[in-house]
Chain A
Amino acid sequence: MEQILFRHNRPGRSVSFAEYRSEGGFTALKTALKEMSTNEVQQSVIDSGLRGRGGAGFPTGKKWSFVPRNLPGPRWLICNCDEMEPGTYKDRILLEANPYSLVEGITLACYAIGVRHAFIFIRRGYEQAAINLRRAIAEANGAGFLGENILGSGFSCDIDVHVSAGRYICGEETALINALEGKRANPRAKPPFPAVKGLWGGPTVVNNVESLANIPYIISNGPEWFKATAATPEAAGMKLFCVSGHVVNPACFELPLGMPLGEIIEGPCGGMRQGSRFKACLPGGASTPYFTIEQWDVPMDFDPVAKAGSRLGTGGIVVFDQNTCMVAATLNLVRFYARESCGWCTPCREGLPFVVHLLEHIENGRGSEEHIDILREHVKHLNQAFCALAPGAMGPLDGLLQHFEDEVREHIATGKCPCRN
């Protein structure tokens, strides 16, 4: 299968600058700076159908087009590498293998949007990725692919790596901007959106690592080629799926968007472990409602997954077998979100611990029927939180109540967890 982002991968080490260049690296940048206008670069990305790989799936080129062109003062690009969604590790794998696609992608994006200075906001735990990126930026600078007057085009661009103190909420773009400014990582009210008023009040684009890393290949090979790499006509491009859980071969794979869930598990993942039967999975990271065997054939692309009642999210697939207690799994996830709440708004700060409290009761055999009603109330009311953290946290709970209500009721009726001995 053709690989895009993983095409330069070397076993056991990251690709070198020379290797990346010898395999066509930075030709996209050369082409763009020599032959394409900024609008053409942006149009290519729009035409490619590339949708944001960070979770929300917003079309990347469209996001760029929201940046006002005529405002005075600097505008900014931020690469969001605060990858903290449980079950998601694609950006780490990518950057540990190859930081150059991202550096080239950021430079191209900066060219398209007219950004002089970009930031990579990376979480503390990603030490090797940060080392790789700093090295890649230095090498790119040395070779004239970054800095002043890149390749004699008159376009200048710098990239800074900001290693953040790291919180889940920093993945939310406005909280990330606050954190980058040195403020508390609370999300900001929208509107104004960052594209209009973001970092230090300037127009700001925040893109995911994987989205940006794809740009060089879109520019080199054209939007049509990129689109065609997907598995279905509706989907566009390849996607990094990071699989974990009860499969034979849990790893990060670059697969065509739109590949059915079952094929991913049966194919690259090598099927379920010995003795394990597929019970459910998180299709796109910890904040997405569960898929069950009924969704086995759903094409893993943004719209089909949404149509099936969940979200493609980050593409972090967490597979559960028949021995998994879905109440315990959900409890584990919501506990994470309760801890990672920034504490700004009431539903998230107080509602999530309430949900944890109720799930603990049910899991420990002290649940009651009334608890299910209260949980449903929370699924509804936590949608009214300030940002998407609490609604995301309700994803798995929503899935639990939709697909596994019987299992929850069994906990309550028998006064114990049926999956525990």
Chain B
Amino acid sequence: MKHPFAFLDEGSKREIRRAAFKAVCIPGYQVPFASREMPIARGWGTGGLQLTLALIGPQDTLKVIDQGTDESVNAVNIRRLVHATTGVQTTHHTADATLIQSRHRVPDRPLSAKQILVLQVPIPEPLRRVEPREHVTRKRHAEADYTAAYLALFERVLKYGSASAGADHPVMVAGRHVMAPSPIPRLDNEKLHRAEHLTLLGAGREKKIYAVPPHTEVHSLAFDDVPFEVESFGDQACSTCGTTGVFLDEFDDGDGGTLYRCNDTSECLARLNAQGAPL
């Protein structure tokens, strides 16, 4: 017995593509879909994987990153699965990929109109922290009632003096739907705003697909007097390629100090090679 191309049966793929079309038509709106069980665990990127498998064709070139790295174990695992069930080309180079599946990062290099970014989503509901009941949050979205989302931000300002709460900072999409951008750092929220590329977000366990189409307004929730702030690494530069203004990983330098390196490892490598690498 052989598994079908891209694992899923064609009926399932069609349904996932239909949900994705609907998501593109209503930017930021969470389209429910009948999430399939996948050969990797729920919570390990099955939403993104279903989108990838439903979209991928034999001509595609796939890149998979997790936490900014192509070689993170989960990225390797997903890439292995897609390659094993499709035989498509895979790459580490952001520019060469037609389809990029990612967990928790938007690549540093701006994507083009010919590329699709698929983000894995653990909790698609931006209001979940303030309202556990799904039928209530759906109603809030329908009525564009986002009071609770702003109230949660306001409480954060009161308690901690800042509205910026780590990754997965909620965004307003096309002036209508508040959306969870998935746990990307706040620095990456801005890369979704008026982007050239299509971003599709898939939550397998929670059975939702949503999208940020190209050229869509994406604004991080904030207040006029307490603006949104991205992560700041001060004047720290990547100790490998010397870049500033990108998301950095922290390393212990072995002498009690801290070293910083680009989180997007393939881009770091590309910059290094562009500088004219030795050997």
Chain A complexes with chain B: no
Q: Which residues of A contact B (CB under 8 A)?
A: none
